[in-house]
Amino acid sequence: MLLVPETDFGTPASRAEKLVTLTIDGREITVPEGTSIMRASMEAGIQVPKLCATDMVDAFGSCRLCLIEIDGRNGTPASCTTPVVPGLVVHTQTARLKDIRKGVMELYISDHPLDCLTCAANGDCELQDMAGAVGLRDVRYGYDGDNHVKARDGDGTNARWMPKDESNPYFTYDPSKCIVCSRCVRACEEVQGTFALTIEGRGFDSRVSPGQHEDFLSSECVSCGACVQACPTATLTEKSVIAIGQPEHSVVTTCAYCGVGCSFKAEMRGEELVRMVPWKDGQANRGHSCVKGRFAYGYSTHKERILNPMIREKVTDPWREVSWEEALAHTAAEFRRIQYQYGRESIGGITSSRCTNEETYLVQKLIRAGFRNNNVDTCARVCHSPTGYGLGQAFGTSAGTQNFDSVEQTDVVIVIGANPTDGHPVFGSRLKKRLRQGAKLIVIDPRRIDLVRSPHVEAAFHLPLRPGTNVAVVTALAHVIVTEGLCDENFIRTRCDWSEFEDWAGFVSEERHSPEATEALTGVPADALRGAARLFATGGNGSIYYGLGVTEHSQGSTTVMAIANLAMATGNIGRPGVGVNPLRGQNNVQGSCDMGSFPHELPGYRHVSDDATRDIFEKLWGVTISDEPGLRIPNMLDAAVDGSFKGLYIQGEDILQSDPDTKHVAAGLAAMECVVVQDLFLNETANYAHVFLPGSTFLEKDGTFTNAERRINRVRKVMTPRNGYADWEVTQNLARAMGLSWTYTHPSQIMDEIAATTPSFAKVSYAYLEEKGSVQWPCNEAAPEGSPIMHVDGFVRGKGKFIRTEYVATDEKTGPRFPLLLTTGRILSQYNVGAQTRRTENVVWHEEDRLEIHPHDAELRGIRDGDWVRLASRSGDTTLRALITDRVATGVVYTTFHHPTTQANVITTDFSDWATNCPEYKVTAVQISPSNGPSEWQAEYEDQARQSRRIAAKLEAAE
Amino acid sequence: MDRHHVSSDLATSVAEIVSDMKHLEGPLLPILHAVQHAFGHVPNEAVPMIATGLNLSRAEVHGVVTFYHDYRSLPAGRHVLKLCRAEACQAMGGDRLGDRAKNRLGIDFHQTTADGAVTLEPVFCLGLCSTAPAAMLDGAVHGRLDTEGLDTLLAEVGA
């Protein structure tokens, strides 16, 4: 195996359609208009020497190495900043150019350390390469005199020298190796959009500075690593490369964090991961990454990872390490015993949104064909189940309508209930890039998220609604669009059901839905709302991006339908730049939904009561499948408390931490007789487990993840599973222990079975993915290349369906005892329940969850910044430290939920979406008061967790 | 308390300057000039305020402030003496004048005398090559300087 080759063309590709032909070094080449001569040369196979150019950022023209000569023109222009012109005759190598380049390199090297052999970039240094390319043999200026290289100069210290900045946990900045090419500064600006870096000073004093001459960690740097990737020298280098050395082979795989699904090259030395580098050809991320994907993989080798199966009689016992055979035989026997004793419906399972499609498919197959019931659910229950339901109703498919590239052609963006720069950072960067190009932004969020205003990005409108009033706000937007005659009637008449539209238009036009009528309820000023509605309806391509702030409400499904209505009414469906785009939370939450993880749906969103669909699987699997929907997660827990549900197989999900009303979840789990947890770590749910099956990481298995744009991306194994088996093998072994005769030897066979049974996956196979890189479902005979944009010529369901969206206030209301509304969200450096990211260096950015509270609300309660506060709701209470900020409005408080000790879900209620049971995480009435420290529950919980995590063999070994 | 007073004073003035000038085309340089005019320098604490006002990053403003030598991050002395160090002035004995000024004042270039009277700075160039060597004292230019002329200027500022 070798490193996956990637060509650096020096400058970005031109999108122009007009072609230009010119001659470079005697070769004729045709490229799109606007292409630089540097890029055209590279496409012709001629590498012009360069240092400051790289194709992730625009041309800059500062290094003076890429000079060329052009017949009929004076001078030696830079090839990176000179565009092609028809008929141009270019020479990239002449006596004059050779002299200039050598001279320039001499100057560079006269102020650069000569420690190549011990340098971390040795073998991957463009400066070294260019010294070789220009034939540098001597530096006439010598290495004495003014320099940035030596810590001491003669007798005194060298004032120009700066020590290494090692403050960032993942990379170092060594100013002595910097050639001031500005690539890092431009990557931070153009690719990431954070603008954390600059070149300070001028001339010989110039240097890279994070913030105002501070270290990286204290600056605004978000550690996305784009600067490290852009750096041509060892100035910015991954600490892992410094520790290990250069990689020798690489494998393209898919990130296992959020639903953006970035493609990465896992750069390896043997079975050791040296670094993750975003893959330029990855169509979701286009060569960019965030701190989690690029750097936060250390959890896979964390000391707390469990590598041996364990069982115990009672959850109060310590764990006992056993062989795989014993663990699986024990589990199978227990499940069979429970079913014999309590009935076929008394066990079930939960599939994982973090595992692969193939693994998820196997878990639901085990439940349907082995457990012989439909008691399967997935964590999408608690996040995007309303998306599935709402979009299914309106359009006929349960998924977003666009690809991520679509954002490059949008003109007006509504971001509602999502915080892309934290939750979906790479998409956030792509959105910011488009906004800097002039697209307009409308943010609908109770909190002033970064997109509302951050360097070079400013929302045209921020509608700071009161939590729980999404339906009222989106319906009011529709009111303005309909009553002011801004609908796209042509689109509606041709693509949607006109009579349903008329009914809906009549409904939203009622005066009670006007912004003025709803202002008191929603807290959104009527004129701002009107302005936003007009902008969206008239501003060109309008797209809507939303997240859990939409779905995790008692009216989550209604809001999704209201969003679909808005998109259809304005004709914003079915072409690039528009659409309804749910930002899915987990790497494979889309896939887990696609794979039949819901109790009422077989793979491909086909209802279990559909005889034809059941027939396909019954014939293949040789069993009869129940035509009755099974239990959802909350129903399983209720049934457990009632005593009729006794066994649960949970793959890669931590329901005790992630599901609402922790105490109820704990009671349900405690009432079961066999809880099987398959995970990397002893997660919170494992405190109540009887069997622990160690899981494998995404680096240790083959498979596919499906991201938020329905893109099926390959996950490729780069190392042997440390626990012995990939998760699909564990499920298969459990199935075998239960008497099923499964014989998969590779996940590709599972995908073949999915393709054979599921029409939207009909053409998908590993061979096809190898050929195409990735495809977006539906991918079948009708759409052999996959479907980047959906509903292009017509809606999947036929005619688009407008649905009335009546606002019904949640039952969770503020009152004298609980006067504030709590809403929750995520932060960039941590991921969901934090099981992975808390076990990486990412904790330097977020070591605890804090409660954001407005200064006014804080002052009323005598709370100062950093104080411990008690956060109480009708369900329970917890404590955490306050963070005083005006990002939240008065009356609203906010926290993240990444740390188990915070126990934010002790607070949340058991209210849920009317259609899908998706919990109402985003609205809880609370009271805040000063506190001395952790609550009684937190102390009890800590104690119980500590007791529960004891491992017998390890205790003995320690003694 | 006193320090707190000064910084809230700074915040108010900077906010006023930014809001008055942010609508100009290319407002950053005029704002930096105005801040330097008001405070004698561009205090580090003013940089985040200007950045927020113009919706730039702190780094970007820092980059601009440090690029131009005329923006100071610390207050200058009561008088500023700039000696031209460009080619023509060097050819006409500018270096000797520089050494003399440093000796007389007891400071190096870019430094201010202990009593806060004079800041000495090099400059490239004043555009007075025909009357080299040249200097600028508190904004007024002086040409054809010799030892005597320099001493007169130094005497004016009390050195």
> Cβ distance A735 to A362 under 8 Å?
yes
| Amino acid letter, B139 | G
Q: How confident is the model at residue A915 (pLDDT cuts 50, 70, 90)?
A: confident
Clarify whether residues A178 and A293 are in a common domain: yes
Q: Which of A833 and A97 is assigned the larger pLDDT?
A: A97
| Euclidean distance between the first and the last CA atom of chain B, given in angstroms as a whole number | 36
> Cβ distance A225 to A285 under 8 Å?
no
Residue A562 in any domain: the answer is yes
The structure tokens 């007024």 sit at B140
Residue A423 in any domain: the answer is no
- Interatomic CA distance for residues B128 and A466, integer angstroms: 66
CATH code of the domain in which A253 resides? 3.30.70.20
* Range of weakest confidence among A9-13, A92-96, A304-308, A876-880: A876-880
Clarify whether residues A99 and A184 are in a common domain: no
Clarify whether residues A724 and A845 are in a common domain: no
Distance from CA of A452 to the nearest CA of B (A): 11
- Interatomic CA distance for residues A189 and A193, integer angstroms: 4
Partner A contacted by B151 (CB < 8 A): no
Nearest CA to A108 among A163, A54, A178, A160?
A178
Clarify whether residues A389 and A410 are in a common domain: yes
The DSSP call for residue A600 is T
Distance from CA of A203 to the nearest CA of B (A): 9
pLDDT tens, residue by residue, A155-164: 788 889 999 9
Partner B contacted by A455 (CB < 8 A): yes
> Cβ distance A888 to A467 under 8 Å?
no
- Interatomic CA distance for residues A307 and A273, integer angstroms: 19
Partner B contacted by A573 (CB < 8 A): no
Flag if A456 and B63 touch (Cβ within 8 Å).
no
- Interatomic CA distance for residues A353 and A355, integer angstroms: 6
The whole-number pLDDT of residue A929 equals 92
- Interatomic CA distance for residues A702 and A253, integer angstroms: 9
Contacts of A219 in chain B (CB under 8 A): 58-59
Domain that holds residue A935: 820-948
Residue of B nearest to A452 (CA): B55
- Interatomic CA distance for residues B155 and A375, integer angstroms: 95
Which H/E stretch holds residue A537? helix A526-538
Q: For the residues of chain B, what is the DSSP string, one character each?
A: -HHHHHHHHHHHHHHHHHHHHTTSSS-HHHHHHHHHHHHSS--TTHHHHHHHHHT--HHHHHHHHHH-TTS-SS---SEEEEEE-SHHHHHTTHHHHHHHHHHHHT--TTEE-TTS-EEEEEES--S-GGG-S-EEETTEEE-S--HHHHHHHHHHTT-
Partner B contacted by A458 (CB < 8 A): yes
Identify the burial level of B158 via C-beta atoms within 10 angstroms of its C-beta, where 0-12 means exposed, 13-18 middle and 19 or more buried. Answer: exposed
Clarify whether residues A880 and A909 are in a common domain: yes
Contacts of B69 in chain A (CB under 8 A): 202
Cβ contacts from A onto B, under 8 A: 55
Token readout for A227 is: 């600067």
Clarify whether residues A485 and A568 are in a common domain: yes
Nearest CA to A889 among A340, A561, A464?
A464
- Interatomic CA distance for residues A715 and A698, integer angstroms: 7
Flag if A209 and B59 touch (Cβ within 8 Å).
yes
Nearest CA to A440 among A560, A543, A513, A338?
A543
| Amino acid letter, A676 | V
Percent of chain A with pLDDT over 70: 99
Residue A785 in any domain: the answer is no
- Which residue among A195, A199, A458 sits closest to B57, beta carbon to beta carbon? A195
Residue A47 in any domain: the answer is yes
Distance from CA of A199 to the nearest CA of B (A): 6
Does the pLDDT value for residue A693 go beyond 60?
yes
pLDDT tens, residue by residue, B84-128: 999 999 999 999 999 999 999 999 998 999 999 999 999 988 999
Residue of A nearest to B51 (CA): A455
The whole-number pLDDT of residue A957 equals 44
- Interatomic CA distance for residues B48 and B60, integer angstroms: 10
- Interatomic CA distance for residues A834 and A900, integer angstroms: 8
pLDDT tens, residue by residue, A835-856: 888 889 988 988 889 999 999 9
Interface of A with B in 165-224 (CB under 8 A): 194-202, 209-213, 219-220
Q: Tell me the average pLDDT of chain A.
A: 93
Q: In the sheet that A691-694 helps form, which strands lie side by side, from edge to edge?
A: A320-321, A310-311, A691-694, A674-679, A647-651, A347-351, A376-378
SS (H, E, C) A444-473: ECCECCHHHEECCEECCEEECCCCCCHHHH
Residue A856 in any domain: the answer is yes
Residues 6+ apart with CB under 8 A from A45: A27
Instruction: Indicate the residue among A580, A599, A616 that finishes a domain.
Output: A580
Distance from CA of A100 to the nearest CA of B (A): 25
> Cβ distance A636 to A850 under 8 Å?
no
pTM beyond 0.90 = yes
Interface of A with B in 217-256 (CB under 8 A): 219-220
Clarify whether residues A173 and A294 are in a common domain: yes
CATH code of the domain in which A831 resides? 2.40.40.20
> Cβ distance A769 to A775 under 8 Å?
yes
Token readout for A844 is: 């330097």
pLDDT tens, residue by residue, B40-89: 999 999 999 999 999 999 999 999 999 998 899 889 999 999 999 999 99
- Interatomic CA distance for residues A592 and A505, integer angstroms: 36
Identify the burial level of A534 via C-beta atoms within 10 angstroms of its C-beta, where 0-12 means exposed, 13-18 middle and 19 or more buried. Answer: middle
Partner A contacted by B58 (CB < 8 A): yes
- Interatomic CA distance for residues A529 and A476, integer angstroms: 8
Token readout for A956 is: 């003995």
Residues 6+ apart with CB under 8 A from A654: A679, A683, A684, A685, A833, A835
- Interatomic CA distance for residues A58 and A865, integer angstroms: 43
Does the pLDDT value for residue A955 go beyond 70?
no
Clarify whether residues A498 and A609 are in a common domain: no
Clarify whether residues A363 and A390 are in a common domain: no
The whole-number pLDDT of residue A956 equals 47
pLDDT tens, residue by residue, A205-261: 999 999 999 999 999 999 999 999 999 999 999 999 999 999 999 999 999 999 999
Token readout for A477 is: 């937007």
Q: How confident is the model at residue A954 (pLDDT cuts 50, 70, 90)?
A: low
Report residue A736: phi and psi, to 5°: -65, -40
The torsion defined by the Cα of A247, A249, A253 and A256, in degrees rounded to 10, comes to: -30
Interface of B with A in 69-108 (CB under 8 A): 69
SS (H, E, C) A344-385: HHHEEEEECCCCCHHHHHHHHHHHHHHHCCCCEEEHHHHCCH
The whole-number pLDDT of residue A776 equals 94
Q: What is the mean pLDDT of residues A450-461?
A: 97
Region for residue A461 given its phi and psi (left: phi exceeds 0; alpha: psi -120 to 50; beta: otherwise): beta
- Interatomic CA distance for residues A687 and A692, integer angstroms: 10
Q: Which of A154 and A599 is assigned the larger pLDDT?
A: A599
Residue A33 in any domain: the answer is yes
Residue A793 in any domain: the answer is no
Q: What is the mean pLDDT of residues A172-193?
A: 97
CATH code of the domain in which A81 resides? 3.10.20.740
Distance from CA of A209 to the nearest CA of B (A): 7
- Interatomic CA distance for residues A548 and A436, integer angstroms: 26
Q: How confident is the model at residue B4 (pLDDT cuts 50, 70, 90)?
A: very low
* Range of weakest confidence among A121-135, A190-204, A796-810, A822-836: A822-836
Distance from CA of B126 to the nearest CA of A (A): 19
Does the pLDDT value for residue A696 go beyond 90?
yes
Instruction: Indicate the residue among A133, A160, A180 that finishes a domain.
Output: A133
The DSSP call for residue A325 is H
Give the β-pairing of A89-91 and A69-70: antiparallel
Number of domains making up chain A: 5
ipTM of the complex, rounded to two decimals: 0.91
Clarify whether residues A625 and A559 are in a common domain: no
Percent of chain A with pLDDT over 90: 82
- Which residue among B51, B55, B63 sits closest to A200, beta carbon to beta carbon? B63
- Interatomic CA distance for residues A276 and A295, integer angstroms: 7
CATH code of the domain in which A614 resides? 3.40.50.740
Clarify whether residues A339 and A199 are in a common domain: no
> Cβ distance A60 to A38 under 8 Å?
no
Does the pLDDT value for residue B3 go beyond 90?
no
Which H/E stretch holds residue A252? strand A249-254
CATH topology of domain B79-156: Glutaredoxin (3.40.30)
Instruction: Indicate the residue among A724, A759, A794 that finishes a domain.
Output: A759
> Cβ distance B92 to B144 under 8 Å?
no
Q: For residue A415, what are the β-bridge partners?
A: A443, A545
Residue of A nearest to B56 (CA): A455
Which H/E stretch holds residue A613? helix A611-621
pLDDT tens, residue by residue, A555-610: 999 999 999 999 999 999 999 999 999 998 889 999 999 999 999 999 999 999 99
CATH code of the domain in which A515 resides? 3.40.228.10
Flag if B62 and A212 touch (Cβ within 8 Å).
yes
Flag if A202 and B44 touch (Cβ within 8 Å).
no
- Interatomic CA distance for residues A262 and A279, integer angstroms: 8
Token readout for B35 is: 């801040």
The torsion defined by the Cα of A117, A118, A119 and A120, in degrees rounded to 10, comes to: 120
Residues 6+ apart with CB under 8 A from A362: A728, A731, A732, A735, A742, A744, A750
Nearest CA to A386 among A797, A909, A912, A923?
A912
> Would you kindly state where each structural domain of chain B is located, as residue ranges?
2-67, 79-156
Clarify whether residues A210 and A292 are in a common domain: yes
